[in-house]
Amino acid sequence: MRVYLDNAATTPLDKEVFDAMAPYMLEHFGNPSSIHGHGREVRAAIEKARKTIAGLLHTSPAEIFFTSGGTEADNTAIVCTIRALGIKHAITSQLEHHAVLHTLQMLEKKGELTLNYLRHNAQGVLDLEHLEELLAQNPQTLVSVMHANNEIGNLNDVEAIGAICKKHNAVFHADTVQTMGHYRHDLQKLNANFIVGSAHKFHGPKGVGFLYADAGIKVQPLIHGGSQERNMRGGTENVYGIIGLAKALEIAYRDMDEHQQHIQGLKDRLIHKLKEQVDGLTFNGLSADADKSLYTVLSVSLPPSDITEMLLFSLDINKISASGGSACSSGANAGSHVLEALGIDPNRGNIRFSFSKYNTPEEIDYVAEKLAQLYKKVPA
């Protein structure tokens, strides 16, 4: 058995998604910008995909722009808001993904904005009173806060943050990469000016995503070139990626309740087994709180041990794929700015297990048993 529990890094492609994409790889190859029949049929398919996504999110197709993934969508939202609207101040948190943090820090370094970080407690819960205070002092602000943390799974109250931003006339960008396809986003209710999606996080293809940009905000392209995406993003569209993205989101919405129940069941099972079988084990952030964390992520903290350094390697040898923090970090817990910001003891071992609809209870039992063996409670 080889167990894949790194679904927050990427998910396997759904066969149904592949089947929807295949004709656009093999038969319908036209350039969507061409005005002849080959181009027009592909253009129609792209617009249908845009309509599907807009419909699921309760917004208009004119507000959906296809990108190369979550990183580009986050960059576009941030850089273009700052530059197009002349905003000089931004608020974020130390717990954001690097797609957001490094982008804002680059703008700060170039002198294009001043940046404030929201206070948070040891569990990673953001201080929304601090947000109110900062916004009261800085009327023209971009707020960029993620919906769910990719390393510890904490869900932020984006409805409350959106309402605070609205009250202070601030622009709100919510990095929804980890919740898209796992929760229902209703843009009629959520007061966000920008949200994003990345297909490979919900069983779609890699290298394609989208940005929802509020029509009330006139932003400019990040990538200059042709007039694709209504002049918002130059470059020939990733046609089969876009088809796969829309199909994957459609399936995610269609089967969401069933999959949520299945995956939450797996997560609960792992929490229960690990608590029972591994002494001194704790959970990072709000990871073990079913109401306040992503059902797809469990961040586990293990007591200091002689195997800490080799923890992920030991799991890999035991045919378990998981990660230390985010996929972009290397080593057992090295390189995780999130765990560092939470002040987690660096001598402990940290593992992020992340689940998908394809995981099974047998896999969970196998992982719990292997971890217990590594921590010596169960004989190998």
Instruction: Enumerate the active-site residues.
Output: 328
What is the distance between the alpha carbons of residues 7 and 352, in angstroms, rounded to a whole number? 10
Answer for which of 14, 175, 214, 250 binds ligand PLP (CB under 6 A) is 175
What is the distance between the alpha carbons of residues 49 and 256, in angstroms, rounded to a whole number? 19
Q: Is 71 in the site for ligand PLP (CB under 6 A)?
A: yes
Q: Is 150 in the site for ligand PLP (CB under 6 A)?
A: yes
**Is the Cβ of residue 177 or residue 187 nearer to ligand PLP in the bound state?**
177
Residue nearest to ligand PLP (CB): 70
Q: Is 69 in the site for ligand PLP (CB under 6 A)?
A: yes
Q: Is 124 in the site for ligand PLP (CB under 6 A)?
A: no
Residue 332 burial by Cβ neighbours in a 10 Å radius (0-12, 13-18, 19+)? buried
Q: Is 356 in the site for ligand PLP (CB under 6 A)?
A: no
Q: Is 178 in the site for ligand PLP (CB under 6 A)?
A: yes
**Is the Cβ of residue 178 or residue 350 nearer to ligand PLP in the bound state?**
178
| Helix (H) / strand (E) containing 321 | strand 320-321
Site for ligand PLP in 226-265 (CB under 6 A): none
Judged by CB under 6 A, the number of residues near ligand PLP is 13
Answer for which of 209, 285, 324, 325 binds ligand PLP (CB under 6 A) is 209
**Is the Cβ of residue 150 or residue 193 nearer to ligand PLP in the bound state?**
150
**Is the Cβ of residue 174 or residue 371 nearer to ligand PLP in the bound state?**
174
Site string for ligand PLP, 86-105 (x = CB under 6 A): -----------x-x------
- What pairs with residue 126 in β-bridges? 120
324, 334 Cβ separation under 8 angstroms: yes
Half-sphere exposure of 20 (CA within 13 A, CB side): 24
273, 368 Cβ separation under 8 angstroms: yes
- Distance of closest approach, residue 176 Cβ to ligand PLP, in angstroms: 8
Residue bearing tokens 């916004």 = 135
- Distance of closest approach, residue 225 Cβ to ligand PLP, in angstroms: 20
325-334 own/partner pairs: CB under 8 Å, 24+ apart = 325/151, 325/350, 325/352, 326/8, 326/9, 326/97, 326/98, 326/150, 326/151, 326/352, 327/6, 327/8, 327/9, 327/10, 328/98, 332/308, 333/308
Based on C-alpha coordinates, what's the Rg of the chain? 21
Answer for which of 104, 146, 161, 312 binds ligand PLP (CB under 6 A) is 146
Stretch that binds ligand PLP, among 29-37, 65-73, 305-313, 349-357 (CB under 6 A): 65-73
Tokens for 202, please give them.
């919900």
| Helix (H) / strand (E) containing 143 | strand 141-146
Q: Which of helix, strand or coil describes residue 216?
A: coil
- Distance of closest approach, residue 158 Cβ to ligand PLP, in angstroms: 13
Site string for ligand PLP, 298-317 (x = CB under 6 A): --------------------
Stretch that binds ligand PLP, among 66-74, 125-133, 285-293, 294-302 (CB under 6 A): 66-74
Which amino acid is present at 202?
F
- Distance of closest approach, residue 368 Cβ to ligand PLP, in angstroms: 25
**Is the Cβ of residue 97 or residue 203 nearer to ligand PLP in the bound state?**
97
User: How many other CB atoms are found less than 10 A from the CB of residue 306?
Assistant: 6
Stretch that binds ligand PLP, among 15-23, 27-35, 69-77, 254-262 (CB under 6 A): 69-77
Which amino acid is present at 117?
Y
Binding region for ligand PLP (CB under 6 A):
69-71, 74, 97, 99, 146, 150, 175, 177-178, 198, 209
